[in-house]
Amino acid sequence: MLDVGRHPNISLMAYSEIEKVEGHEGNFTVTVRRKKRYVDEAKCTGCGACAEKCPTSVPDAFNTGLGTRKAIYSYFAQGIPSTHTIDPDFCRQLNGKKCGICQKTCQADAIDFDQEDKIVELDVAGIIIAAGYDVFDPSQIPEYRYSELPNVLTALEFERLLSASGPTDGHLDLPSDRAVEAEIKALEKKIGKSKRMLEKFEKKFDESSKQFYEKYNKGDYSDDKDRKKWADKYAEYLAIMEPLEDLKKKAESFTTAKRLAFIQCVGSRDFRFYPFCSGYCCMHSIKEAIIAHEHENETTSRIFGMDIRAIGKGFEEYKIRGGNNSNITYVRGRVGEISQGPNNNPVVTYEDTHERLVKSQEFDMVILATACVPTIGIIELAKILGVELDKYNFIKTSPFSPVDTNVPGIFACGCAGAPMDVPESVAQASSAAERAAEIAIQLRQVQNVQF
């Protein structure tokens, strides 16, 4: 990525959208809307001081909502360009409230609340669609209870938990435990406010709140309005303190997830949703299980699937090595349902097709290997470009030239055209770049001849 950002013949237009495409092969005019960041890319150094001081925290989409970011943020570390963006939906200043802390903090004077979108027209010879993909929403399968059970995650969410730059710094903390810890922090904040209020009364009457409250409950000071307010505030304090102490005791027993279940083909190879195989899910689950074991040697993983499709070079050996060295067990069987067990532990009910028995097993965490589905917005993009989609809404390409669309000069690669893993995506990207370069070179040759 750094090489791309530094290349003299490559211009990156991040945070932009295509609005219109006109022309034909060798002579396209592309209208691009460069969306306002409210940050000047040329001035921003990416130091992060603005985000550090921003008072507004919101769910972080890059961390799949498992962590938080600020209203001014960098989408992910090491992103190119190294700049920040203000989210207008959450920024206090842009919503009519007094703030502007980021603008006061920024030493590069890069914050511009008056910035507007820019429309740019590009003359290009060829276009490559590399729009990526989205993951299947597993809440569409109610028996897996994805949106109900806190410790049932998607593979992408689990990937962020494993990451050292993720919301848990790479530790497999249970989402149910993290919810309790967040509740503890919220109650501690309330306790702090309550204590400050009680201190004012204690200073005024030169008596501890506890001693006063005991006297008040015996009937003393019944006609004193100020002391009644004091008693009400202390009652509120106790109402917060008691559940806080209970949660703190509960948190003392928290540990990381060590019993993992991976469920394959969630949404894929399923005639209710997508009948195709997504291609990379089996190896992705094996990789995640191996990394989880590297984080904690006591971790055990069971991968449930109809079969494991290890089709690439060295993939079968990788699968076997995971079973031998990383406490991975491969279970041939389709999971029927996931239910709630004790302590928020999910219980997986499945058919073991080897023994022809229905079994149930409790785990700390269940990871759903969700299908690769067309990215949001691909239908609108296809209309703008004039390219055809297949019946699943992937870009339709030629069976004889796998990166060519129905529009000459427009090519597709990676998961924009079909589910595929990283090596195949890279190979297709090289092929699409070569096809686009052909057009540019031919155009230059024609122009030289005419000249």
**Same-domain check for residues 93 and 167:** no
Q: What is the token pair recorded at 392?
A: 């699943």
**Same-domain check for residues 208 and 279:** no
Residue of 122, 44, 38 lying closest to 79 (CA atoms) = 44
**Same-domain check for residues 62 and 159:** no
Residue 319: the pLDDT is 95
**Same-domain check for residues 297 and 340:** yes
Identify the domain boundary among 308, 338, 373.
373
Q: How far apart are CA 62 and CA 84, in angstroms?
A: 14
Q: Sort strands 346-352 and 127-129 into parallel, antiparallel or unpaired.
A: unpaired
**Same-domain check for residues 246 and 263:** no
Q: What is the DSSP letter of 39?
A: B
Listed in sequence order, the residues at least 6 apart from 71 whose beta carbon sits closer than 8 Å to its beta carbon are: 54, 56, 58, 86, 87, 90, 91, 92
Would 332 be classed as within a structural domain? yes
Letter for the amino acid at 399?
P
Count CB atoms within 10 A of the CB of residue 227.
Answer: 20
Q: What is the pTM of this model?
A: 0.89
Give DSSP secondary structure letters for 274-297. B-S--SSHHHHHHHHHHHHHHH-T
CB 367 within 8 A of CB 260: yes
Identify the domain boundary among 373, 392, 424.
373
Identify the domain boundary among 85, 101, 124.
124
pLDDT tens for each residue of 195-216: 999 999 999 889 999 999 888 8
Phi and psi torsions of 24, nearest 5°: -150, 180
**Same-domain check for residues 347 and 394:** no
CB environment 348-377: b (16+ within 10 A), e (fewer): bebbeeeeeeeeeeebbbbbbbbbbbbbee
pLDDT tens for each residue of 333-350: 889 999 999 889 999 999
Q: How far apart are CA 286 and CA 327, in angstroms?
A: 11
Q: What is the token pair recorded at 215?
A: 């006297």
Would 217 be classed as within a structural domain? yes
- Domain housing 161: 135-172+257-373
Residue 148: the pLDDT is 94
**Same-domain check for residues 358 and 285:** yes
**Same-domain check for residues 96 and 24:** yes
**Same-domain check for residues 405 and 305:** no
**Same-domain check for residues 264 and 152:** yes
Would 410 be classed as within a structural domain? yes
Q: How far apart are CA 135 and CA 273, in angstroms?
A: 12
Would 130 be classed as within a structural domain? no
> Residue ranges of the chain with pLDDT lower than 70?
1-2, 447-451
Would 185 be classed as within a structural domain? yes
CATH of residue 329: 3.50.50.60
Would 446 be classed as within a structural domain? yes
**Same-domain check for residues 47 and 89:** yes
Would 129 be classed as within a structural domain? no
Residue 448: the pLDDT is 64
Domain count within the chain: 4
**Same-domain check for residues 274 and 349:** yes
Q: How far apart are CA 155 and CA 146, in angstroms?
A: 12
